[in-house]
Every structure is written in structure tokens, then in C-alpha cells.
Structure 1
Amino acid sequence: MAEELGHQGVPEGEQRANVAAAVQLPRAAETAALHRVARRRQREAVQRKERVDVRYSTAEKAAIIAKARSLNIAGAHYVGAVVMAHLHGDLALPGQRTPLDDYIDELTALRGEVAKIGHNVNQIAKKLNSGGHALPGDTALLFQTERTLAGVSTAVRHIAAAANQAASVKAAG
């Protein structure tokens, strides 16, 4: 039973799809968060004069301008705000490791450790059920072992669900 705890009989891709469907962030919240980041960039007393030249494809530029217009700000203001937000740690670049990545890794490791406990409890139950003469207290110990295994199974499912939810949030972000 403990070997099954990590996957719960559902292919991992399907688990992610099911969790992703249940955890979708509303588009309005994403837009509001981006608008907040874009508005954080304060005007300075003197005009900004330094330039950084960047090249975009036609499609990239169109996407930048469209997003800036949807936020009612200039394209340069949008790009500047996003870059400054990243520099201040508010945004991560694609492929960049984030605290959410660490959280997902910790949950995955925790799930593995708790599943090992379940395996050990299974070994105890197997020994108790192996026949022979029952000792006083074996019935109570077996009952407690079954309860512990059920608790471990529940814990592994919750940890896996939390890891999948965090991965879905990361993928959506």
C-alpha cells in the first residue's frame, strides 16, 4: 500500500490537469497584480535620460504594447516597471528558481519521507499478520498500525495535492 501512496493510482499528468483546473486564478486578479506592479514605478523629479536599447520581434512588441494599453500606460513605462519589479524581487524570469520552487521540492521530499513511514508500518502489519501464535496486545497493536497507515496515506495525499497545487500556480504564473 505504501508504494501506491506517491501516485494514488492516477498518472501524474492527469493529477496536474485536475489540480490545475481547480486552482485557476482569475484573469482579473492577474491583471490587477500586473497593474499594481506597473504603477509602483514612481516619477522622478528630473526626467529620466538614460536609455537601454532592446530589440523585440514584431509579435513581442505587439504583445508589449497591447498589455501596456490594457493597463492604460505607455509601452516604455510598462517595460520599465516590469524590469524594475524583477530587479526588486517582485517578478521572476521564466526558468528562474523561486521560493515556490523550493516549496514544491520540500513538499516532494516530505511526501517521500512520509511514504517511507507508511512502508515501515506495512512491514509491521505484515509481521503481525504472518500467522503463528498471537501475543497479548497484538490485536490492539495491529489496530493501531492500521490507523497509523490510514493517517500516513491521508498525509501523503494532502502533501501531494499541495505540491501539485503549488506546481499549478507556478505554471499559471
Structure 2
Amino acid sequence: MDDSVVVRAADHAALYRVARRRARKEVQRKERVDVRYSVDEKTDILAEARRLGLAGAHFVGAVVMAHLYGDLALPDQRTGVDDLIDELAALRTQVAKIGTNVNQIAHRLNAGGDPHPVDTVVLAEAGRLLTTVKQAATAIDSAADVAATQRRAA
């Protein structure tokens, strides 16, 4: 039996989306809720918070509040629309990385030095690829907006 855990893109995207949404208050939050975690659970929580660039307490608070306000369902409460929105967010991130890589290639080719005969062809193809990436990102954003609107209306 395989004991490995399968982590879906939607799960990571959901945590990232809600953890970043929790805004600071004008007055410091002073109320506490104490919880206990195993050493392994605490290590996992802090690792995920670091990956998202957040303090551990901010991460835990954001996830709890998101769940309370209906923005993050527990695994058995998620709907297909929740998964769709989060998969689209993860896809958007991957498409954006493609655009970044193409930009880096174009920058390197335009940086000067002795051009190679193939550089012009590569730059033209990079331009076409960037156009395609922008169109894909726009389509993903539109689909995610439609899905989020339908989720709110439900």
C-alpha cells in the first residue's frame, strides 16, 4: 500500500489564496486561542507558512478565518467549483512562469554581444509565445472569474 500523500495543485492554491487575503487590523489583535500540535504538525504548519512568506500565527489564523467565512472549506466540504477555482489559480501560476522564462530568454538574446544567425528566429518565436501566454492567462482569469461568480451566487 502506498502511504505517500498526493498534493493537488488546488490544495496549495486554496491555502495561498486565503492566507494572503487576511488583512491587518488597525488595532492589534490581542485575543488568543491556544491549540496544541504534535511536533510534526507544527513543523508542517511552519514550513507551509514560510513557503507562503507568512508568520505561522498569521497562516493558521487566515486558514481558520477563511473556513469560518466560507472561503475555505474543509476537504469533505469542498465543491467542484472550489476545486475548479483553485486549479485555475495553480494553472495561471504555471502559465505565468512560462512567460517569465520566455522573457528571460529574450533578455539574454537582446543583451548584446555577438549575435548568432538563429537569434532573430528565436526572438520572433519568443514574441509569438509571449502573445500566446498572455492570451492563455487572460482566458484562465476569465474562467476563474466566472467560476467564482457562480460560487458566490450558489
TM-score by length of 1: 0.45
CA offsets, 1:135-166, max 9 Å, x none? 01110110000100110011011001101110
User: Which aligned pairs between 1:125-144 and structure 2 lie closer than 5 A?
Assistant: 125-144=106-125
Select the residue among 100, 121, 146 that pairs with 2:81: 100
Name the structure 2 match of 1:18. Answer: none
Name the structure 1 match of 2:128. Answer: 147
Select the residue among 110, 126, 140 that pairs with 2:91: 110
Identity of aligned residues (%): 52
* Aligned-residue RMSD, C-alpha: 1.3
Q: Distance in 2 between matches of 1:162 and 1:153?
A: 14
User: Which aligned pairs between 1:119-130 and structure 2 lie closer than 5 A?
Assistant: 119-130=100-111
The ranges of structure 1 where at least 4 consecutive aligned residues each deviate by more than 3 angstroms after the TM superposition are: none
Query: Quick check: 1:163 aligned with 2:144?
Result: yes
Structure 1: gaps spanning 5 or more residues: 1-93
CA offsets, 1:31-66, max 9 Å, x none? xxxxxxxxxxxxxxxxxxxxxxxxxxxxxxxxxxxx
Q: Distance in 2 between matches of 1:161 and 1:135?
A: 40
Name the structure 1 match of 2:51. Answer: none
Q: Distance in 2 between matches of 1:131 and 1:151?
A: 26
Report 1 or 2 for greater relative contact order, CA contacts < 8 Å, sequence distance ≥ 6. Answer: 1
CA offsets, 1:80-103, max 9 Å, x none? xxxxxxxxxxxxxx9342011001
Q: Number of residue pairs matched?
A: 80
TM-score by length of 2: 0.50
Q: Distance in 1 between matches of 2:128 and 2:112?
A: 20
Q: Distance in 1 between matches of 2:112 and 2:146?
A: 43
Q: Distance in 2 between matches of 1:153 and 1:128?
A: 21
User: Which aligned pairs between 1:1-173 and structure 2 lie closer than 5 A?
Assistant: 95=70, 96-173=77-154
Q: Distance in 2 between matches of 1:162 and 1:151?
A: 16
CA offsets, 1:8-48, max 9 Å, x none? xxxxxxxxxxxxxxxxxxxxxxxxxxxxxxxxxxxxxxxxx
Q: Distance in 2 between matches of 1:103 and 1:171?
A: 14
Q: Which has the larger radius of gyration?
A: 1
Name the structure 1 match of 2:41. Answer: none
